[in-house]
Structure 1
Amino acid sequence: MRGAGPAAKGISGRRSLRPLTGVLAAMAVSLTGTRISAVALPWFVLVTTGSATRTGLVAFFQMAPYVVVKAFTGPLVDRTGPRAVSWTTDLVSATAAVAIPLFHARHLLSFPLLLALVAVIGAARGPGDLAKEVMVPEAAERGGVPLERATGLSGVTERLASTIGPAAGGSLVALLGPLTGLTVNAGCFALGSVIIQLALPRGMGHAAEDVPAQAGETPPGYWRRFGEGFAFLRGDPLLLTVIVMVGITNLLDAAFTTVLMPVWARESGNGPAAIGLTGSVMGAAAVAGSLIAAVAAHRLRRRVVFFAGFLLAGAPRFLVLASDAPLEVVLAVFAVSGFGAGFLNPVLGAVLLERVPRRLLGRVNALGDSLAWAGIPLGGLIAGAVVASAGLVPVLLAGGLAYFLTTTATGLRPEWREMDRGRPGGRRLLKRHTEEDGPHRNTHTPR
């Protein structure tokens, strides 16, 4: 990627917010489509098959390719350039997504074919999401926007998508059926591809520049690039601890979203509209939390905010569904959880911004995301099987307890002290790597 300076501001040298606006807009529409699909696809499988196990299996076939492909595409994104990767993979996702309702309408959609199509969507989404994340810091530089603020805006964009997407998905499924939601999802992916092609300047989103090879040396190949990212990640204890903790919570969140929520909605009689409503309430509260974090991130004690946010965002959602509380109480708890969740990614984004050199951004980001998302494919699969054998309430109680222990016991490890000390240490790290490797960029933390 290009470094800071006049070249990063366009040919004229003037700053422009168009690149950042374009990247955030593409993120917004593709993430909104994903959130709509998160309501429509599980509901479609649940009502057509009546099987929680098959619902979890579909989630597995979508997320397993996402994690695996993303893990190995970091060097390719760095080498090919995130712009080309972003618009092409969005186009592939749109094609596979629209094929589901088309095949179903012609009575050709067998369950194995559905699994194959969602696997293609997941495999394309991995590098597509990564490519957009990688372009945020360069777009911020071109607009003269501080990188921490750009990270916060990226978090707000995701939270807005988490607000609009479930509401739209729940409404579409309730009024027009789940296949309509899947069609809209395909349209969102296609629109994201168009935005990247039209809104971003031609000089943006090129391949990252590696350290020049010595005389007689060949340029680094794929596995050397991959190894450099792995070595950097392995040498940072704080990032590794974050990945382990987030990996466990991601598994629990996947189980909650893909299986436990749809089964709760069906058994409680609230229906798919309740899934959209709870997601929208949580997303709206998360937007408020993200905005506060984006404005006040430099004044916050990161470690306290981080663990307090997880305490609110995790276990309460599981426990309120297990308590058979009225929908109004469920919505109130989801609002509190969303507010806490809104602080997490801006804080983590600021920490990671200080630690990852620009030239390694794609590969470190891809590896970190994939390791932290490794449990997501198993979340729905495990939840579907356990709910089928033990029932919904015991699984909700066990999930809430696991979430609470993970997000409290992990905080006792000494690596977390670096989170509060990260800002001055990060400036020293930034200076050293700027001199040797080029400017830093932040990496995106999985959710």
Structure 2
Amino acid sequence: MSGRRSFYSLVLAEVCSLSGTRLSMIAIPWLVLTITGDPVLTGVVAFAEMAPYVIAKALGGPLLDRLGARRVSIVGDFASVTVVAAIPVLDHFELLVVPLLIALMAILGALRGPADAAKQAMIPSVAREGKLPLERVTGVMGTIERLASTIGAAAAGALVAIIGPAQALAFNGICLAVAAIVLLAGTRSTTITEAGVPQSYGRQFAEGFDFLRKDAVLVGIAVMVALTNFIDQAFGVVLVPVWAADSGRGAAAIGLVLAVFSGFSILGSAVATAFAEKLPRLAVYIGAFVLVGLPRFVVFAFDAPLAAILAVLAVGGFASGFLNPIISAVILERIPEKLVGRVSSLVTASAWALMPFGGIVGGVLIAGIGLEATLLILGGVYLAITLAPLGLKRFRGFARRPEVA
């Protein structure tokens, strides 16, 4: 089996998996809003999925190194299909209530965390098999993530409008099943067997944690991305759906604005991939965050014309395309191969750690001070977080390409 075949299979699996996930990110909040009309409860349901997702991703790292990332991804995707398929079935028989939906989302989050982390952990071995530069592979994966976001967002807006949010989730299940089948057929196991006495799960987890906490660059990335992800989660799962409902634009508008953002991020990610090895990492990192942050909060806060909103999202989306290829390359370059699963899982889980609270905080702020004020406050905080790394010494190593032992 050629190395390039493994690379193409991983890319296709990522497209399918992320397309389904992005679809559910629109369908689930809209489902809760149509059932309850409550933005706080919408945030609670998002929390129910994201909290187990982050915890499972953090704790699942040693399993990736022990069982193999490929196996974890395939099993997680297949199991997720069953959970996702239950939602439209229950809705069809009028058995879907919010407490049951919360339980299903918690199970789904626990399955998706390790499965998503596993696909990222496969990148170094796939790059090595195909004799491809790491930054080129992370760039392609970043582009694929944006492409999947665009497909998922556009499909979700249309499907939710046509067949309803619960029924639209059936397509999420199909996407996850295809992702698992593609990895099963097109890739091979790359589990690394460590010499000596096998380590316990606890020891493997501790080893990964110790490595992470001693690397200031990795810690800095995790903290900054955790804070911006927290705000992005509030924006995506509560603020934009409430804006769409209050303005009367409906679920189709949610799909449109997210698709425009993701669509232009594909272009940005493609450019980043082409020039990844020549880009000044820190300058691009900060500059992209500035463009992707405050402007979009401002245009939504003042309910600008849809054309203006889409223009701002186009610029921000293009800038955001430069982030993941650079961040992923920096993370994976700094981790020894035998620790990739456990350390990369901890980094990404840390970066997602605050996301479960984003929807709840967004909903509470809207209920307390209104949508406009919430958007402006969160936009200002986003800008402050974006500029903070300029004063942190730990980010001086961000631009370097260190040797990995």
Instruction: Report the TM-score when normalising by structure 2.
Output: 0.98
* Alignment pair present for 1:333 and 2:283: no
Q: Distance in 2 between matches of 1:410 and 1:17?
A: 37
Q: Give the alignment of 1:89-238 within 5 angstroms.
A: 89-200=76-187, 204-210=188-194, 212-213=195-196, 218-238=197-217
Match of residue 88 from structure 1: 75
Of residues 50, 58, 61, the one that matches 2:48 is: 61
Match of residue 419 from structure 1: 398
Q: Distance in 2 between matches of 1:126 and 1:221?
A: 21
Q: Distance in 2 between matches of 1:88 and 1:349?
A: 24
Q: Distance in 1 between matches of 2:16 and 2:353?
A: 25
* Alignment pair present for 1:320 and 2:299: yes
1:141-164 deviation line (CA, Å, top 9, x unaligned): 222222211111110110101111
1:85-140 deviation line (CA, Å, top 9, x unaligned): 11111111111011011011112112111101011111100000011111122222
1:7-34 deviation line (CA, Å, top 9, x unaligned): xxx5xxxx44111110111111010001
Which amino acid in the other structure matches residue 350 of structure 2? L
* Alignment pair present for 1:252 and 2:231: yes
Q: Distance in 2 between matches of 1:114 and 1:349?
A: 33
Match of residue 384 from structure 2: 405
Q: Distance in 2 between matches of 1:16 and 1:383?
A: 44
User: Structure 1 segments of 4 or more deviating over 4 A?
Assistant: none
1:169-228 deviation line (CA, Å, top 9, x unaligned): 00111122112321111111111111111122xxx2242232x22xxxx32111111111
Of residues 274, 277, 289, the one that matches 1:310 is: 289
SS in 2 for 1:298: coil
Q: Which runs of 5+ in 1 are unaligned?
A: 1-9, 434-447
8 Å CA contact 2:124, 2:332 repeated in 1: no
Residue 167 of structure 1, CA deviation = 0.5
* Alignment pair present for 1:41 and 2:28: yes
8 Å CA contact 1:74, 1:367 repeated in 2: yes
Q: Distance in 1 between matches of 2:265 and 2:280?
A: 19
* Alignment pair present for 1:290 and 2:241: no
Q: Distance in 2 between matches of 1:150 and 1:298?
A: 12
Which amino acid in the other structure matches residue 137 of structure 1? P
SS in 2 for 1:17: helix
8 Å CA contact 2:212, 2:347 repeated in 1: yes
Residue 77 of structure 1, CA deviation = 1.1
Residue 387 of structure 1, CA deviation = 1.0
1:241-281 deviation line (CA, Å, top 9, x unaligned): 11111100010000000100100001111111111111111
Residue 323 of structure 1, CA deviation = 1.1
SS in 1 for 2:122: helix
SS in 2 for 1:207: coil
8 Å CA contact 1:80, 1:206 repeated in 2: no
8 Å CA contact 2:331, 2:344 repeated in 1: no
Match of residue 251 from structure 2: 272
Which amino acid in the other structure matches residue 95 of structure 1? T
1:318-347 deviation line (CA, Å, top 9, x unaligned): 111001101110000000110110001111
Q: Distance in 1 between matches of 2:350 and 2:219?
A: 9
Instruction: Report the TM-score when normalising by structure 1.
Output: 0.89
Of residues 67, 70, 79, the one that matches 2:66 is: 79
1:290-309 deviation line (CA, Å, top 9, x unaligned): 11111111111111100000
Of residues 343, 358, 376, the one that matches 2:355 is: 376
Q: Distance in 2 between matches of 1:81 and 1:193?
A: 14
Q: Distance in 1 between matches of 2:128 and 2:217?
A: 27
Q: Distance in 2 between matches of 1:394 and 1:43?
A: 22
Q: Which runs of 5+ in 2 are unaligned?
A: none
What percent identity do the matched residue pairs reach?
A: 45
1:325–1:379 CA distance, 2 compared to 1 (3 A): same
SS in 1 for 2:64: helix
Q: Distance in 2 between matches of 1:349 and 1:255?
A: 23
Q: Alignment RMSD, CA only?
A: 1.1
Q: Distance in 2 between matches of 1:297 and 1:94?
A: 35
Q: Point out the structure with max Rg over C-alpha.
A: 1
8 Å CA contact 1:57, 1:381 repeated in 2: yes
SS in 1 for 2:199: coil
8 Å CA contact 1:152, 1:346 repeated in 2: yes
